Chains A and B, each alone.
Chain A
Amino acid sequence: QKEVEQNSGPLSVPEGAIASLNCTYSDRGSQSFFWYRQYSGKSPELIMFIYSNGDKEDGRFTAQLNKASQYVSLLIRDSQPSDSATYLCAVSSGGYQKVTFGIGTKLQVIP
């Protein structure tokens, strides 16, 4: 079982729709959860982080965490073509908070 699992996609949504990206993790002791956006040929950019169960909103982005189900998600409202990128889920755990990444989900926003 992979430590952090994501569907590689591509996930295609029309412009203006809500994009829903999902991630599951295996280590119940994981403490911090991150979403990175990575454009083709570029490095990952941190867009959201969450530590507590529930929702965290920042502009058009909402991160959701359910530790009991070991599930974290990212919602992107009013999706724009510029949101087309690969979204990496990352989870930190252990004494030194080692960060483990998923494979990433490729999002395509269709104009």
Chain B
Amino acid sequence: DAGVTQSPTHLIKTRGQQVTLRCSPKSGHDTVSWYQQALGQGPQFIFQYYEEEERQRGNFPDRFSGHQFPNYSSELNVNALLLGDSALYLCASSLEGSGSYEQYFGPGTRLTVT
């Protein structure tokens, strides 16, 4: 049973650049949520994708955008990177309509902005 995968593992970018992170959900899952986790903090909800649409969003600026593909995989894009965007970016998948709402996380992408 394939778990959640994310790429790349690590990424170093310069302030002002743009970045794209990728996620493939756990086999059988159809919903993808993205989180940002700063050092020493809990994961902060960025947005959630279901049926290729963003259906809810946390308190993140429009510089953060995403996409979900027909195969349920997802991308997170961040434009005009700031130093404060340095964090662990986590993707979590779940199954809509399962009644249980458990989310399973991928290994994360560590983004460093210099």
Contacts and interface: CB of A to CB of B under 8 A. Distances in A.
Contact of B101 (A42, A43, A97, A103): A97
Given A43-B108, A96-B55, A98-B56, A49 B100 contact: yes
Nearest to B58: A98
Nearest to B108: A43
Main secondary structure of the interface of A (DSSP, over half): strand
Contacts, number: 54
A43 B102 contact: no
B58 to A, nearest CB: 8
A94 to B, nearest CB: 8
Interface string A8-44: 1000000000000000000000011010100000111
A8 B40 CA distance: 9
A62 interface: no
Interface residues of B, number: 25
Q: How large is the interface on A (under 10, 10 to 19, 20 to 34, 35 or more residues)?
A: 20 to 34
28 contacts: A31-B101, A34-B102, A34-B103, A36-B105, A42-B108, A43-B90, A43-B106, A44-B43, A44-B90, A44-B105, A46-B102, A46-B103, A46-B105, A88-B43, A92-B101, A94-B56, A96-B50, A96-B56, A98-B45, A98-B48, A99-B92, A99-B101, A99-B103, A100-B45, A101-B43, A103-B40, A103-B42, A104-B42
Given A43-B108, A46-B103, A88-B43, 16 more contacts: A4-B42, A34-B102, A34-B103, A36-B105, A44-B43, A46-B104, A94-B56, A96-B50, A98-B45, A98-B58, A99-B33, A99-B45, A101-B42, A102-B42, A103-B40, A103-B41
